[in-house]
Structure 1
C-alpha cells in the first residue's frame, strides 16, 4: 500500500514553544534593522524529573541571535507538555497570535490561513537541509506550512539479560511476528511478568496500533491520502495481536487500559521482555542501567519495511510587518549548531542532514545511530488533516478494544473508519 509520509504527534515530544511578535512596517515585512519584537510559544522538552528546562535552551538561542541582530527582540515562553497548543489558541482568541510556535499540530492553523508558507520564511539552504524523510512534511494541500523541528521513531526494545536467561540469543532479536511470539513464550516460561508490552490505552494507542498496522502493510491512510483505518491489513494485524499475544497471556491482562510510560517503568525495572519504544526510553533505560538492545521492528513475514514516526512543528504566523524578522530568527534556529545542541540536550532526532551527520559522528550518541538509520523509512500520522486531532482521540479511546478476548477488530476499526470519514467531511466545511 502506497502512502505519502507525513509527520505527527509524538509519543516522545514533551511540549511546545511559541513566539508572539509585534512589528513595525507594513506589506512585505519589516526591515531586519528595524525595531521588531517577536513572541514565541514553545513546548518543554525537559526530562521527567523536571531537570534541564527548555527555557534555558531558548534563552541561549535568543541571546546569541539578538547579539547578531540588535534591531530584533524575541520573547519566548515555554509551556508544559500539552499546554503550548492551549496557549496559542488563547492568544489567537484574544486577537494576538504569536509570531512563532513550536507545537505538535498545524493543520487547523494552516487551513484557517494563519500561517506563512514555509518558503516565505525559510532560506533555500535551510529547506534543502531537511532530512529527506521530512521533505514533504507539514504540507496542507501540497503546500508546506509547518516546518519540522523535532523527530522520533519507534524501534523494538528488548531486555538482553532476560533473553539470555530464557535461552534466546541477545544478538538475534526477533525479525518477524512469529519470532516475536516465540520469544515471548520463552520469556513467559521463565516467569517474566510481561513478555511483550502492548500499550493500547488512550495515551499511546494511536502510535502502537499504527506500528503494528504498518508491519502488515497497512496504516491509517491509503492511496490518495484517504482514511483506510478498516483496511483488511489493519484488521488482520489487530486480530493477530488478539489471538497470538493477548489471548496467550503474553501481554498485560488488559492492553486497552495499559499506557506506555507504565510499561517503560516496568521495562527499566526488568519486568518487561520486549516492547516498542522511542528515544525517551533509551534515556530512561540508560539512567536505570538496564541491559537492553534495540532493533528494527518485526513485520508479519520479516523485518518491517517502515516504522512509525512522530514530529514537533515550528509554525510562523502571519502578522503585519514580521516576516523578515521571523525569517532571520528561523535561519538562526535551524543553524547546524543550534539544531545539534537541541537534539543533543533533549534526546531527539535532528531534522536537518547537517545536524544528523554531526550526531552520527559523535561517540556519545552511539545509542542514537539505529534511530538515525531508520528515520528515512518512517511513516507519519496524517497530521496534514484538520480532522486528525479528533480521529486520533477516537483511536486512542477505542482501538484497544479490538484485541480483547471478546474484541472484534473488523467492527471496532469499521466504527473508527466511519468516524474518521464523518470528521473529514466536517473539516471540509471549516
Structure 2
C-alpha cells in the first residue's frame, strides 16, 4: 500500500536502499539480559539520508523509555520502505513475529488472528485519542487492530511564478478553472501544465484524489467497491477529454509518469500544477520554486473530501507480551514523541491532542493546510484484505483509462469486476 510518504529526489533512492541494508543491523536494548522483557520492534525508515534515518529516532526514544521502565528492553530494527513489509511477512511466516511492527498494512495479519486489538495494548486515554477517521480506518468488523502511527494528506501545488507569467491571478477553484489555467500555462510555454502521474509507482493515490474530487471514491458506505460508478466514470472521462487529450499533461503519457518524476519536474520549475504531499514543500524549496497549495477542486467547487494516508502500528500476539506492549505504546503515542517524529519528517500526527498542539504552534507552519484536511480525509480501504491486490491492479491499469482512443468506462468496469472477484475470494 505504501507509506504516507517516501521522500523522492535525485540520488535518494540509493541512499534509502543502503539504509534498508544496514539499519536493521543496528539495535537498541539488551537482548542478552536475563531480567525483564525484551520487546522487538520492526519499523520503517522515513529518512532521506543517513543524517535523518529513523533508526536515530527509535534508538533515542527506546533509550529514554528504558531509563524510566527498567523492566522492559526495546530492540529495534529499521528497514527501508522497499524492504520492511517483506521483512515482517517473512518473520511471521517462519513463526518469529516481532512484538510490534510499524509498516504499511495490517489487514492480512488481523484476518489471520495474529494481532492484539487496540483495547488490548493501549490504555483507554491513548485509544480514545486517535482522530476518528483514522481510528475507523484501523477497524476490521468494528474492532480496531490497526493503530495509525503517522498520517499525510494531499493538496494541489501550483507554481506561483509560472502562474504570474501566464497572467493567472490565483489557484483554480473548479475543474473548469483548472483546465483553463492549464491551457494558459501551455500557451505560455510551460512544459507540463498539469502533471498527472498514473504510472505504476503510486497511481492508486493520484486516482483516489481525483475520484474524491469527482464526488465518489473506491468504496461505498458499506465498504463495497465502486470503481466504475457513474461519478468515477465521469471523472476519468473528464480527465481524458479535458487534460490529457488537449496535451495539458506534458510529453510523458500519464500511464508512464511516476510520482517521483513529476515531483522532480515540479522542483525543476517545469510543472504548473500537480497533487502533492507535505515533503514536496522541502523539495521545491531546495530548488527555489515559489509555490502555493490549495485543496484539489471539484467540478463545481471544493471537493467533498481530501485523500488521507496513514501508516500503521500493530502488535502481534505471538510473544505474549501484552502488558509490556501497552506500556511501550502509551509512551510512543504521547504528544512529545508524536510531535517530534512528525516534525522531523513533515508528517501529521494521528492523535487529537498532538494535532491540536501542532495546529496551535507556530512551528506548524506550512503543514497547517495539510493538517486542516486530516479530520475529514478519506483513506484507502485498508481494512479490506483484498485492497493490496486491488491497489496493484489499479497501478498497472488505470493509466490506460486516459490514453488516446480509450474508453474510461471499460477500464474502470474491468477493474471493478476484478476487485469484486478478489474481494469475494477473500
TM-score normalised by length of structure 1: 0.91
Cα separation, partners in 2 of 1:174 and 1:10, compared to 1, 3 Å: farther
Output aligned runs, 1:100-179, within 5 Å. Answer: 100-169=100-169, 172-179=170-177
How far apart, in 1, do the equivalents of 2:425 and 2:202 lie?
A: 25
- Cα deviations by residue, 1:224-248 (Å, 9 ceiling, x for unpaired): 1101111111111001000000010
Give the secondary-structure state (helix, strand or coil) at the position aligned to 2:309.
Answer: strand
Once residues 238 and 57 of structure 1 are traced to their aligned partners in structure 2, the CA distance between those partners, rounded to angstroms, is 42
- Report whether the alignment pairs 1:263 with 2:256: no
Distance change (3 Å), C-alpha of 1:13 and 1:125? farther
Match in the other structure for 2:337: 338
What stretches of structure 2 of length at least 5 have no aligned partner? 8-15
User: Does structure 2 retain, via aligned residues, the 8 Å contact 1:22–1:39?
Assistant: no
Q: Where does residue 11 of structure 2 map in the other structure?
A: none
- TM-superposition CA deviations, 1:376-429 (whole Å, max 9, x none): 2211110101010011000000011000111111111111111111111111xx
State the shift of 1:364 in Å. 3.2
**Per-residue CA shift, 1:126-163, capped at 9, x if unaligned?**
11221233231211111100100010011000001111
Deviates more, 1:194-203 or 1:215-224: 215-224
Q: Please list every run of 5 or more consecutive structure 1 residues that lacks an aligned counterpart in the other structure.
A: 1-7, 24-32
1:3-402 alignment runs, 5 A limit: 9-13=2-6, 35-47=36-48, 49-169=49-169, 172-253=170-251, 254-402=253-401
Please name the residue that 1:410 is paired with: 409
Shift of 1:13: 4.8
Q: After alignment, is 277-286 or 68-77 more displaced?
A: 277-286
Aligned residues: 408
The CA distance in 2 between the partners of 1:209 and 1:323, in whole Å, is 39
Instruction: Give the Cα separation in 2 of the matches to 1:339 and 1:423.
Output: 36
- Gap change, CA 1:398 and 1:321, over 3 Å in 2: closer
1:304-350: CA deviation from partner (whole Å, max 9, x where unpaired): 12111111000000034300010000011001100000001111101
Task: Report if aligned partners of 2:157, 2:273 keep a CA contact under 8 Å in 1.
Answer: yes
In structure 2, what is the Cα distance between the partners aligned to 1:354 and 1:195?
A: 39
Q: Report the Cα distance in structure 2 between the residues aligned to 1:403 and 1:126, rounded to whole angstroms.
A: 45
Q: Distance in 1 between matches of 2:284 and 2:145?
A: 36
Higher helix share: 2
Deviation of residue 223 (structure 1)? 3.0
CA distance in 2, matches of 1:241, 1:394: 20
CA distance in 2, matches of 1:61, 1:229: 42
> Structure 1 residues 55-64 or 129-138, which shifts more?
129-138
